[in-house]
Amino acid sequence: MNLTREQALFYHRQMWTDMQKELGDNPIGGDRVIYKAEWCLKHFPNEHIANDCFLCEYAYNYISSCQKCPIRWTTEDNDDAVTTYCCYDRYYYNTPISELLALPERK
């Protein structure tokens, strides 16, 4: 799937907002994984989306690296910092969805 940065951010936010509405702000990790897979299948039935994550899909197609994720998952202000807490590292398992949605974009 070839996404623009804007599309990746839009679908990322839409999926997590829908999840928050349906499962609450802090569902357990397994429910999040299942929800993401089902959401992607429902909205994009003929597409493979890396890690069921539009940010991963964008970053992998862009440069095959989490370092180009549109969201800054680290607490560092340096946009070149390695992304260590992303959906691939399962950071999202325990973090409230409201906090995930509030993470800043990389510049």
Instruction: Compute the half-sphere exposure of residue 65: CA atoms within 13 Å on the CB side of its CA.
Output: 7
pLDDT tens-digit map of 92-104: 788 899 998 998 8
58 near 8, Cβ under 8 Å? yes
pLDDT tens-digit map of 10-25: 999 999 999 999 999 9
